[in-house]
């Protein structure tokens, strides 16, 4: 009974034994490295483009898409951080 639908595998992340190894726990370092590369590229572009320059439309679009994607990640991390309520230990009541 063919319906024309393709079935794709469902991936479950961080549920395998491999996810517990050091090989899979270096995401923050990767993010930092990628951000440094982005900073260098942005500085390079900023230095090379003058206010009166005509930048190709495809290049403008890639920069706009990158900006939107980075803002999305930033918003996600901010909301994730804001949803974490810090717990402070409470002192036991004192007897008077």
Q: Confirm whether 46 is domain-assigned.
A: yes
Q: Confirm whether 34 is domain-assigned.
A: yes
Residue 9 token pair? 């595998």
Q: Exposed/middle/buried for 47, CB within 10 Å: 0-12, 13-18, 19+?
A: exposed
Identify the domain containing residue 52 by its residue range.
21-78
pLDDT single digits (tens) 41-94: 999 999 999 999 999 999 999 999 999 999 999 999 999 988 876 666 666 666
- Among 13-17, 18-22, 23-27, which range has the highest average pLDDT? 23-27
Q: Confirm whether 68 is domain-assigned.
A: yes
Asked whether residue 36 carries a pLDDT value surpassing 60, the answer given is yes
14-17 long-range contacts, CB within 8 A, separation 24+: none
Q: Confirm whether 16 is domain-assigned.
A: no
Structural domains counted in the chain: 1
Given pLDDT bands bounded at 50, 70 and 90, which one contains residue 12? low
pTM over 0.75: no
Q: Confirm whether 42 is domain-assigned.
A: yes
């Amino acid at each position: 009974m063919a319906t024309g639908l393709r079935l794709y595998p469902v991936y479950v992340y961080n549920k395998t034994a491999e996810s517990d190894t050091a090989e899979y726990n270096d995401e923050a370092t990767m993010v930092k490295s990628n951000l440094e590369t982005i900073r260098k590229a942005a500085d390079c572009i900023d230095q090379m483009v003058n206010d009166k320059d005509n930048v190709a439309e495809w290049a403008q679009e890639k920069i706009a898409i990158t900006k939107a994607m980075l803002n999305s990640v930033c918003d996600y991390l901010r909301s994730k951080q804001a949803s974490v309520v810090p717990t402070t230990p409470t002192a036991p009541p004192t007897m008077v």
